[in-house]
Amino acid sequence: MRRRVLSVILALMMVLSLAACAGAKTGSGDKTLRVAMECAYAPYNWTQPDDSNGAVPIAGTNDFANGYDVMMAKLIADKLGYELEIVKLDWDSLVPAVKTGDVDMVIAGQSITAERLEQVDFTTPYYYATIVTLVNADSPYANATSIDDLAGATATSQLGTIWYDNCLPQIPNANILPAQETAPAMLVALNAGAVDLVVTDLPTGTAALVAYPNFAMLDFTGTDGDFQVSEEDINIGISIQKGNDELLDAVNAILEKMTTDDFDAMMEEAISIQPLSEE
């Protein structure tokens, strides 16, 4: 009888030991924050070959990610006590990855649009965008002071953005070419003379001027000739799976302690360390 009791105790101890090991493994996994972005959208995010300037490894590759979004991801992961894992995805795959739970969040310069809010939840804004236009400095459009002065221009922008969907159609008689897959691709198109202009946001435009000194940036903000955009177009947020209120509230608590000056200072740092290339 004593042997039988001892055997039962030993068996229970083994089960508990295995359960404890399994729990530790799960707990370790829960401490990793998987954040998706394009890693191709400077100064928000980009790919680089080393860990200089605090870059973070990109999962499944030998490359590293850096930029404003990476800085924000590092801050959030640090505040939450998580390890950070950056996942590189193309633009159209970002929202589906959050919906399915393949990643915990997307930090990728996404506007908080009604369409996206039907699929994912968003934090409060972690940046506020200003819409600008990029042209070649020797372009006949370089002295434009309103969107009316851009009439008839051949234009493009990035696929799936408010720049392409909302802003370009506001240019009178514009010849709108198919959207480019990435922000770097639209800049290459402009530099090559394939288009007269591209529409983007201020950080992307500012970063582009460093990489392409031959560009000029037009900012119609505050004038009657500015692009007409809504708050949802220019408010940029972090997307999280619907129903994950615990993570949403935790990230919002972090963002609420930051000011627009904090955001601007972080963006200025990102612009200052961006690679001077169109990759």
- Residue 6 clears pLDDT 60, i.e. is over it: no
pLDDT in tens, 70-84: 999 999 999 999 999
The reported pLDDT for the residue numbered 234 is 86
Question: Which residues lie below 8 Å from residue 70, measured CB to CB, with a gap of 6+?
Answer: 37, 45, 54, 55, 56, 86
Question: Which residues lie below 8 Å from residue 249, measured CB to CB, with a gap of 6+?
Answer: none
Q: What b/e string do you get for 210-230 counting C-beta neighbours within 10 Å, with b at 16 or more? A: ebbeebbbbebeeeeeebebe
Give CA–CA dist 35/75, Å, rounded. 12
- What residues does each domain of the chain span? 31-128+235-273, 131-220
pLDDT in tens, 175-194: 999 999 988 999 999 999 99
Tokens at 43, concatenated: 């100064």
Nearest to 110 by CA among 96, 126, 99: 126
Which of the 8 DSSP states describes residue 212?
Answer: -
31-128+235-273 and 131-220 in the same fold? yes
Architecture of domain 131-220: 3-Layer(aba) Sandwich (3.40)
> Which burial class, exposed, middle or buried, applies to 47 when counting CB atoms under 10 A from its CB (0-12, 13-18, 19+)?
buried
- Which residue is listed with tokens 């800085």? 71
- Residue 7 clears pLDDT 80, i.e. is over it: no
pLDDT in tens, 197-253: 999 999 999 989 988 999 999 999 999 999 999 888 889 999 999 999 999 999 999
The class level of CATH for 31-128+235-273 reads: alpha beta
